[in-house]
Structure 1
Amino acid sequence: MYIGIDVGTSTVKAAAFDERGGALAVESRPVALDIRGGRVEQDMDEVYGAVVDVLAALTAGAGEPVELVGLTGQGDGVWLVDESGRPVRPAISWMDGRAHELVDRWQASGVFESVFRRTGSAMFPGCPGPVLAWLDRHEPKSLDAAATALYCKDMVFQRLTGVRATDVSDASMPFLDPRTRAYSPEVLDALGLAHRRELLAPVSDPVAVGELPTGTRIANGPYDLPACALGAGVTEPGDGLLIVGTCLASLVAACELDLTGEPAGLYISTDRPGRWLRAMPAMVGTAALDWVLNTTGVPHTEVDALLAGAPAGANGVRVQPYFAPSGERAPFVEPRLRAELTGVSLESTKADLIRATCEGIGFAARHCLEAAGLTGSLAICGGGTRSPAWMRLFADVLGRPLRIVEGEVGARGAVLAAAERYGVELDVASWTAPTAVLEPNPERSAFYARAYEEHLGRLASSRARARSERAVEEHQGGPRT
């Protein structure tokens, strides 16, 4: 038996697989997000306790020994721990927006672009660079008390094994030079963090390994985005993966670095030198739909029926799905961009609103995949795959076949990374086989191709307004209250 642990933003899961990748069992626990005034934090002890719980529950019912464990989890944010790996303060989530003024300042001064040209990482408020710089200015005592500024899975790995380490994928945002696979002193200098260099965990290349208290081998694999790419079999240049989860993440495998063009997204280093994932992780995916469902009082079980109850185009209702309090980070960075709902009248229905939201998320995904350079096949995974009607809508909006990969894809990727690290041979094709292949409807795809161009036009206007608001705030000397 092989176990993959996926420490997600709102749910911690552990999944057990047989040697051919067949799912045996899954255990999960919810974890809370503390969202207040643009700040998003998590209790590290709660997150770690959930990992211990799901692992214990899964192994307690196992009828055979565990061969090895792979670990993955949410990326970005800052998880400050002391020398023993215990929390110094609550973790600051990747969804946090408190550092948006720093990002604005770095965009205006050229620091933002210079970091991207060196590392391929377009910073956003919730990534470690801005968060650490904000803490250095506003909470220096927290940094003084910390031994390490970790990523989520690295915190869990240190608590489980005592090993202090990260990997090249997590370190990619924003400090790692993708050519040298080491931290860039120039980036630390540019962000004013050279004096905090010792807080960064050693980059283990290949991934770090250790043992659980039971003696079971564990590997600290790539974070959730590249782990999902491994679990979906996306490794050939040009092939892509769309993850419809809390975050709407678009990934395309690449064998070349292109640091030109608009700074956005990032290049994620993989365990294979010379291979990267060009990532465009938009801030919200299912989180946007969840907000609309909660606001309208519609349960998730009715989504498919409501999607069928409104035509393509949602009777003129349009949703720009930029709901994150920290704005958007891909395929562009605009911390002040917010969601917009237009075309609503007294005749509009809940079905129109739900369909418009799903269509808006589909347009955002298409924008990200085009910017990431998708030329090959496309796999899709995440919680959104549980809605067949939404998957059909995605195929039509994207205008291409979808390789649907269901189940705990991130946990699968974590196991495959652990197996490669330990030299355990597994049938990768069997582990990554799609559940189904969904073809687009040509007529609806043609309609959505036109609607997508209209979406880009509305988005350009929204971005212009956001930039104008930023300019006004800078002229007036600070953000509006």
Structure 2
Amino acid sequence: MFVGIDVGTSVVKAAAFDRAGRQLAVEARPVGLHVRAGTVEQDMREVYAAVVDVLRVVTGRLGEPVELAGLTGQGDGVWLVDEAGRPVRPAISWMDGRTHELVDQWLADGTFEAVFRRTGSALFPGCPGPLLAWLDRHEPASLDRAAAAVCCKDMVFQRLTGAGRAVTDVSDASMPFLDPRTRRYDDGVVELLGLTRRRWLLPAIGDPIATGTAGGEGLPAGTRLANGPYDLPACALGAGVTAPGDGLLIVGTCLASLVATAEVDLGGEPAGLYISTDRPGHRLRAMPAMVGTAALDWVLATTGARHEELDALLAEAPPGSSGVRVLPYFAPSGERAPFVEPGLRAELLGVCLETRPAHLVRATCEGIGYAARHCLTAAGLTGTLAVCGGGTRSPAWTRLLADVLGRPLRVVEGEVGARGAVLAAAERHGVALDRAAWTEPARVVEPDPDRAAYYAKGYEEHLELLAGARQRARR
């Protein structure tokens, strides 16, 4: 039995797989987000207790020995821990917005672009750089008490193994301090962000990923464990996205577009990031957009429709939604990929008294599809495309996405991140697994040629509308 642990933002999961890659069992526990006045924090004790609980249940349910376990989880944010991996203060989530003014200042004074030109990482409010700089200015005592500033899965790994020091991996280190060419921290970036005196808080980088053995909490004592890539690259690995040019679209609360690449291009418009992986020379060009299923959730709630009605609503309105267009940039923080526009807001166009809820819903799904196409194009997609995430549970929306993107979609189901965590752990420990079998898609959805041609024109119109919206956002 192989176990993958995925420490998500709102749900912690453990999934068990057999040697052939069949998913045998999943256990999940919700964890809280404490939201107040633009801040989003989490209780590390609650998160760790949920990890131990789901592991205990999964391993007890199957009653078989665990050969190997892999760990993944949410990225970014700041999780300040002491020498034993225990919390110094509540974790600050990647969703946190307290550093908006600081990021705006860096956008204006050139720091933002200078960091991107060195690392290929476009800063956003919830990533470690701005958060550490904010803490250094407003809460220095917390940094003084900490032994390390890690990400979520790193805290869990240290606690499960009892490791004597904090360690991360190259994927979590990628934002924003890692030079993707050297796979080492860029001290010039640390200096640009005013954090030289806090440099010692950055954890050691396990390259390749760090390994250890469980101490007996959740997993049987002695179980081999690997501190794998965070959730985005873990999903890419679990979906079989490893060949240069191949991509993955995660249709979740936010859209995450990832394309495998061996190249690093630090030119162009600063946006997205390069995620280093456990294989030297292999990276993911990532465009993690703020737009996603949260936009659809808002439209469904506003129109009084239910998620269960989505497929029927999509069938009720024709392609193009009778002229209704939605620029689905509903996030209060604007957009961060494939461009950075903090002031951008959603726009609804072509609405009249004859507009029905189905038109708004379909136009929103189309708009999200156009945003995904924009991200994937910017990320350099040239090969196959896998999709996963909650949005793919709707067959009608998945077909619509295939049409809007104009390419076949390899739909990957199950706990894709946990699957990728196991594959990373197996490679690190020298355990031979059939990757093709582990990453086989559940189905392939082909685009309709006529609708794909229609949406190709719609995409160009989307880009024109977006250009106008970006100009208005800057006024």
Give the TM-score, by structure 2 length.
0.96
Provide the secondary structure at the position in 1 that maps to 2:383: coil
Question: Which of 379, 383, 391 pairs up with 1:372?
Answer: 379
Q: Is the 8 A contact 1:95 1:326 kept in 2?
A: no
Matched residue, 1:159: 159
Matched residue, 2:32: 32
Give the ranges of 4+ consecutive aligned residues of structure 1 lying more than 3 Å apart after TM superposition: 294-297
CA distance in 1, matches of 2:257, 2:62: 35
1:39-93 CA-to-partner distances (Å, cap 9, x unmatched) read 2222222222221121111111013111111100111111112222222222221
CA distance in 1, matches of 2:111, 2:304: 44
Provide the secondary structure at the position in 2 that maps to 1:84: coil
How far residue 116 of structure 1 moved from its aligned partner, in angstroms, is 0.9
Where do residues 124-163 of structure 1 align in structure 2 (5 Å cutoff)?
124-163=124-163
Q: Which runs of 5+ in 2 are unaligned?
A: none
Correspondence 1:115 to 2:115: yes
How far residue 210 of structure 1 moved from its aligned partner, in angstroms, is 1.4
Residues 326, 385 of structure 1: alpha-carbon distance in 2 compared, 3 angstrom cutoff = same
Matched residue, 2:212: 210
Question: Which of 233, 241, 244 pairs up with 1:234?
Answer: 241
Correspondence 1:177 to 2:179: yes
CA distance in 2, matches of 1:153, 1:360: 33
Residues 100, 278 of structure 1: alpha-carbon distance in 2 compared, 3 angstrom cutoff = same
Question: Which of 265, 270, 278 pairs up with 2:272?
Answer: 265
Q: Is the 8 A contact 1:304 1:387 kept in 2?
A: yes
Matched residue, 2:91: 91
Residues 373, 23 of structure 1: alpha-carbon distance in 2 compared, 3 angstrom cutoff = same
Q: Which residue identity lines up with residue 98 of structure 1 in the other structure?
A: R
Correspondence 1:325 to 2:327: no
CA distance in 2, matches of 1:108, 1:467: 12
Q: Which residue identity lines up with residue 224 of structure 1 in the other structure?
A: D
Q: Which residue identity lines up with residue 170 of structure 1 in the other structure?
A: D
Provide the secondary structure at the position in 2 that maps to 1:336: coil
How far residue 417 of structure 1 moved from its aligned partner, in angstroms, is 0.1
Q: Is the 8 A contact 1:251 1:279 kept in 2?
A: yes
Where do residues 2-401 of structure 1 align in structure 2 (5 Å cutoff)?
2-163=2-163, 164-212=166-214, 213=216, 214=220, 215-401=222-408
Q: Is the 8 A contact 1:80 1:143 kept in 2?
A: yes
Q: Is the 8 A contact 1:38 1:325 kept in 2?
A: no
1:383-425 CA-to-partner distances (Å, cap 9, x unmatched) read 1111111100100000011111111111110000000010000
How far residue 162 of structure 1 moved from its aligned partner, in angstroms, is 2.4
Amino-acid identity (%)? 76
Provide the secondary structure at the position in 2 that maps to 1:326: coil
How far residue 324 of structure 1 moved from its aligned partner, in angstroms, is 2.2
CA distance in 2, matches of 1:93, 1:66: 31
CA distance in 1, matches of 2:350, 2:80: 45
How far residue 325 of structure 1 moved from its aligned partner, in angstroms, is 2.6
How far residue 26 of structure 1 moved from its aligned partner, in angstroms, is 0.8
Q: Is the 8 A contact 1:95 1:324 kept in 2?
A: no
How far residue 129 of structure 1 moved from its aligned partner, in angstroms, is 0.7
Q: Is the 8 A contact 1:95 1:325 kept in 2?
A: no
CA distance in 2, matches of 1:419, 1:129: 32
Q: Is the 8 A contact 1:126 1:326 kept in 2?
A: no
Provide the secondary structure at the position in 1 that maps to 2:62: coil
CA distance in 1, matches of 2:398, 2:109: 42
Provide the secondary structure at the position in 2 that maps to 1:319: strand
CA distance in 1, matches of 2:80, 2:346: 31
How far residue 224 of structure 1 moved from its aligned partner, in angstroms, is 0.6
1:321-354 CA-to-partner distances (Å, cap 9, x unmatched) read 2222322111011222222233323322221222
CA distance in 2, matches of 1:220, 1:257: 25
Q: Is the 8 A contact 1:72 1:221 kept in 2?
A: yes
How far residue 246 of structure 1 moved from its aligned partner, in angstroms, is 2.0
Q: Which runs of 5+ in 1 are unaligned?
A: 469-481
Provide the secondary structure at the position in 2 that maps to 1:234: coil
1:27-46 CA-to-partner distances (Å, cap 9, x unmatched) read 11122222333322222222
CA distance in 1, matches of 2:93, 2:329: 18
Q: Is the 8 A contact 1:96 1:326 kept in 2?
A: no
Provide the secondary structure at the position in 2 that maps to 1:149: strand
Provide the secondary structure at the position in 1 that maps to 2:381: coil
Correspondence 1:410 to 2:412: no
How far residue 452 of structure 1 moved from its aligned partner, in angstroms, is 1.2
Moved more, 341-350 or 147-156: 341-350
Count of equivalent residues:
468
Q: Is the 8 A contact 1:97 1:325 kept in 2?
A: no
